Amino acid sequence: MEFLNDLNDQVSTAYELLAAGWGVQLLWGIGWTLAVTVVSMLIGAILGSLVAAAKLSHRGGLKFIGESYTTVFRGEPELLIIYLFYYGGTQVLTGVARSTGSIGSTDILNMPSFLGGVLAVGIISGAYQAEVFRGSFLAIHRGELEAARAYGMSAWLRFRLVIMPQVLRLAVPGLGNVWQLTIKDSALISVTGVAELMLTANKAARSTHHSLLFYTLAGILYLVMTSISTPIFDRAERYTSRSFTRPK
């Protein structure tokens, strides 16, 4: 009975705190988390496709650049990369602004929190997406490419009609994994001051002294976001594969 009374008190406390405004703040935090994730994935898709092309290139210089990119940004801690882009970006912007006389010698021009965060996470995402796109291209049946050449298709036409549709189809499962990774990496940009879910939960925990409650809620909300995204990518995979027949 005592346990039930304690549980009831905790539930009542949680309801009161969420109703007092923290519930809305957590919802805003989810919105910022999704915004960071989507923008970072788009940045990563652009960089990843370019890096994948470089790694698949027969030119040694491009191949070296592509390999170096994925090695560095998959091998370094994500938090370190975020620090470099945010605080390093602030230092670079301040130096440029001072050299042009835009600000005084003692002023500081900060890197925008959201921009610094999504650039860092986007570049990390790009390193993983590059491997997804590269693997998808290598999985295309060689006979299809040879047949496209035999029909006299130009390089652009082969890319548009043969390569790109199949790379996108084959990349969907891997991109789903990168999406999950990017959602989790978005929590790290709380160090830049973006009010995403992790920073909001941290503020709530410090302000109310109910750390267990708000960190548990944050964990549940992250799990909900990743759980919802899984069937979405599964459905996308089925949709892109609906008319595909693998050559024998």
Query: Domain-by-domain residue ranges, the chain?
Result: 39-240
Average pLDDT, the chain: 86
Q: What is the pLDDT of residue 244?
A: 61
Question: Regarding predicted confidence, which is higher, 162 or 128?
Answer: 128
Q: What is the pLDDT of residue 9?
A: 59
What does the angle CA 128 – CA 133 – CA 135 come to, to the nearest 5 degrees? 95
Q: At residue 132, does pLDDT exceed 90? A: yes
Q: What is the pLDDT of residue 220?
A: 92
Question: Regarding predicted confidence, which is higher, 158 or 171?
Answer: 171
Residue 103 DSSP one-character state: S
Distance (Å, whole) CA 204 – CA 211: 8
The string of pLDDT tens digits covering residues 2-56 is: 555 555 656 677 767 777 788 889 999 999 999 999 999 999 999 999 999 999 9
Question: Regarding predicted confidence, which is higher, 5 or 96?
Answer: 96
Q: How would residue 164 be classed by pLDDT, with cut points 50, 70 and 90?
A: confident
The string of pLDDT tens digits covering residues 209-229 is: 888 888 999 999 999 999 999
Query: Helix H segments across 57-163?
Result: 60-75, 78-99, 113-138, 142-150, 155-158
pLDDT (mean) for 177-183: 94
Q: What is the pLDDT of residue 64?
A: 95
Q: How would residue 106 be classed by pLDDT, with cut points 50, 70 and 90?
A: confident
Q: Count the neighbouring beta carbons within 10 Å of the beta carbon of residue 5.
A: 9
Q: Which residue has the tokens 């043969």?
A: 162
Question: Regarding predicted confidence, which is higher, 113 or 240?
Answer: 113
What distance lies between CA 66 and its chain's CA centroid? 19
Domain 39-240, CATH 1.10.3720.10 — does that match? yes
CB under 8 Å to 189, separation ≥6 — which residues?
Answer: 36, 82, 86, 113, 116, 117, 118, 120, 121, 196
Q: What is the pLDDT of residue 152?
A: 75
Using DSSP's 3-state secondary structure scheme, residue 232 falls into helix
Q: What is the pLDDT of residue 101?
A: 79
